[in-house]
Amino acid sequence: MQNSAKALRLILLSSFLFFAHIALVLYISSAVLTKLVGSTTATVLYTAGAMGSVILLFAIPRIVQQYGLVKTTLAIFILLALSLFTMGTTKNPHAFVVIFVVYSALTSTVWYCNDMFVSHYAYEKTMGRIRGTYLTIINTAIALMPFLAGILIVKEGFSSTFIGAGYLLLIAIGVIAVSQRHFVDRVYKEPNIRTAWQSMKISPALRRVTALSFLLQFFYAVMTIYSPLYLLHVMHFGWNTIGVIFSLMLTAFIILQYPIGKWSDGIGEKKLLITGIAIAGISTIVFGTLGGHTYSVLIVIVILFCTRIGASMLEVMTESYFFKQVTDKDEGVISIYRMMYPVAYIIAPLFGWLIVRQTSYMTLFIVLGIILLMGALYSFRLVDIRK
C-alpha cells in the first residue's frame, strides 16, 4: 500500500511536468503557425496532428501490451522532447510544421499512459477524490505556464518556449525512469477496439459520458486555438497581458477540482455536470460579446475565469463518472475515451475556421456557448453512479 501510494505520487509529479510543458506552448502554437503558414494551413496542420493522434490511440494498447507501460511511456516522452528541441532550434519553417504535426499526434498518447498508471494504483471508492487530485495537479501546471510563456516570448522569442518545454520533459523522463523501475505490468489482454466500441455502445452511461468528454475537449480545442488570436488581434492585448489573463483564468481548476471531486463521491455527478456546463456556456457567450470594445483586463479575466469554473466542474465529473466504470484492464475503452481529445482537434479547427472566415471571432464564441448549453440539456439523461 505504502509503495503504491509513493509510486502514484511520483506519477502525479511526472504528470505535472508533462502538462506544464504542454501549457508552455499550448496557447502560443496557433499564433506561431498562423504567422508561419497562414490561418488556412494552420487549420490543416491541427487537423493532421489530431488524425495522427486517433491512429496512435488505436495502436497504443497493442504497443503497451508488447513493450510494457513504462517503456512505452518513456519512448513517447523522449520523442516529444526531441520534437520540442527541434521546433525550438530549426530555422526551416517546413521542418517546424512537419515536427509540429508529429508532436501533436504524440501528445494524446500520454493521456492514455497516465490513465493506465493512475487506474493501476487507484481504488474505486475514492475515485472521485483521486481523479480530482490528479486533475488539480495537472491544472496547476497548466495555470502556471502561460504567465511564464508570456515573459519568455517578450524577452527571448517564441523558440525559447519550445526549448523550455523540452527541458521539462527531460525531468519527467528521469522521474518515470527512477520511480517506476520496479513497475510490474499485469498480463494485458489482447486489446480489441471493436469489442471496446461495442461495450460502449451498449452502455448508456459510458456512451453519454464519452459524448460529454468530447464536448469538453471541443470547448478546450476552440478556446486554445482561437482565444489567443481573439485577444491578440481583436482585443489588442500583448503577449505579456495574455499570459497573465490565461494563468489567472486557469486558477479555477486549482481551486475547484479537488473539492468537487471529493464532493461528487458523496452526492453524485449529474447535478454538478449540468451546473458546470451551464456556467461554461453562458460565460463563453458573454466572452463572445466583448468584441473589439475596450474592456479592462480584470473584466476579461473574470469572464474567462467563469468559463473555466464550468469547465473544471465538467472535467472532474466526466473523469470521475467514467473511471468509476472502468479499470486498467479496460484498455480499449480507455483508448476510445481518450480519442475524444484528438477527434475534437480534428473538428474544432475546421469549425472555427469556417465560422471566423464567414463571420467573426465573436460569433465563434457565441455559437460555442450555445453548443455547451445544448450539452447541459443532454446531461439530464445521465444517472448517478453509487459505489
**pTM of the complete model:** 0.77
Lowest pLDDT segment from 10-19, 67-76, 91-100, 129-138: 129-138
Confidence tier at 324 by pLDDT (50, 70, 90): confident
Domain count, the chain: 1
Establish if 185 belongs to a structural domain.
no
pLDDT, average across residues 174-190: 78
Instruction: For residue 385, tell me if it sits in a domain.
Output: no
> Would you state the pLDDT for residue 216?
93
CB of 18 closer than 8 Å to CB of 158: no
Contact 327, 119 (CB under 8 A): yes
CB 48 within 8 A of CB 319: no
Question: Tell me, what amino acid is at 72?
Answer: T
Angle between helical axes of 93-121 and 2-26 (0-180°, round to 10): 160
Examine residue 259 and state whether it is found in any structural domain, yes or no: yes
Q: SS3 of 329, please?
A: coil
In a domain, 139, yes or no: yes
Here the CATH number for the domain that contains residue 258 is 1.20.1250.20
pLDDT score of 327: 65
Lowest mean pLDDT among 24-28, 124-128, 161-165, 183-187: 124-128
Residue 186 lies in a domain: no
Q: Please classify residue 250 by burial: count the beta carbons closer than 10 Å to its beta carbon, then call 0-12 exposed, 13-18 middle and 19+ buried.
A: buried
Average pLDDT of span 285-295: 83
Q: Give the per-residue SS3 of 219-282.
A: HHHHHHHHHHHHHHHHCCCCHHHHHHHHHHHHHHHHHHHHHHHHHHHHHCCHHHHHHHHHHHHH
Q: Is residue 211 part of a domain?
A: yes
Q: How would residue 1 be classed by pLDDT, with cut points 50, 70 and 90?
A: very low
- Cell of residue 79, nine digits: 520523442
Whether 255 is covered by a domain: the verdict is yes
| The predicted structure's pLDDT at residue 38 | 85
Query: Does residue 214 lie within any of the structural domains?
Result: yes
* 132 grid coordinates: 480530482
Give the angle subtended at the CA of 266 by the CAs of 262 and 271, to the nearest 5°. 90
Banded model confidence at residue 2, pLDDT cuts 50, 70, 90: very low
Give CA–CA dist 329/24, Å, rounded: 33
Structural domain harbouring 246: 2-180+192-379
Question: Mean pLDDT throughout 357-364?
Answer: 92
Polymer length in residues for the chain: 387
pLDDT, position 316: 82
Distance CA 292, CA 296 (A): 12
